[in-house]
Amino acid sequence: MREDDLPDPDRRPSKTQVKEAMHELQELGAALVELSPGQLKRIDLPEDVLAAVRDWQRFSKHEARRRQLQYIGKLMRGIDPEPVRAGLALLRGESAAETARLHRLERLRTRLLEDEGTLAEIATLWPGADLTHLRQLRRNALKEQETNKPPRNFRALFQVLKELDQDEHAPGDSL
């Protein structure tokens, strides 16, 4: 055997590098199994990987889940992980945007409870808003706070604002 026949050690990855890449793909699989079924549909996954993720979600035993996670990692080695990473990053970004939107609506609800004049701002943001209903929810929420009752109308007020925001797609930075 000649030296020219031996593979160049610099060209192939070391055993450690292979293991690190394998663990990275397994961690990517672990991120996939934490997603809801609706979120999984939004990521372009091969059918076998999707089935393996659904199986993991169905399993309840720790050891079965561990083995299934290793299997998902093995399947991930056969596909290009970049689209999966991009899909996960997109979902995380949307989750952050959704959280920011909900915080914005909570601040609007707080301002509405403090000042009834905020109804005029709501009317300009969402012209189709039922201001009478919002005024009634505001009044009832304030009474609930005064009498230390459960915040049913407080929550209902938030739900109405949330529905208005989803229906009309109002600009997010205006509040």
- State the pLDDT at residue 5: 54
Q: Which of 44, 50, 54, 48 is nearest to 80 (CA)?
A: 44
Q: Which of 86, 105, 121 is nearest to 161 (CA)?
A: 105
Q: Which phi and psi (to 5°) does residue 13 adopt? A: -70, 150
pLDDT at 62 over 80: yes
The answer to whether 13 and 65 are in contact (CB under 8 A) is: no
Same domain, yes or no: 45 and 113:
no
The span from the CA of 61 to the CA of 49, in Å, is: 20
For the chain, what is the mean pLDDT?
Answer: 86
- Say how many CA atoms lie within 13 Å of 152 toward its Cβ: 6
Determine which helix (DSSP H) or strand (DSSP E) holds 97, and give its type and residue range: helix 81-114
Regarding whether 103 and 72 lie in a shared domain, the answer is no
Q: What is the pLDDT of residues 63-107, one digit of tens each?
A: 999 999 999 999 998 988 888 888 888 888 777 788 888 899 999
Domain carrying residue 107? 98-174
Q: What is the pLDDT of residues 148-167, one digit of tens each?
A: 999 899 999 999 999 998 87
Count of the separate structural domains present in the chain: 2
* pLDDT, tens only, 11-48: 788 899 888 988 998 999 999 999 988 888 888 899 99
The answer to the question of residue 111 being in a domain is: yes
Say yes or no to pLDDT of 172 above 50: no
Q: The domain spanning residue 70 has which CATH number?
A: 1.10.60
* pLDDT for position 168: 59
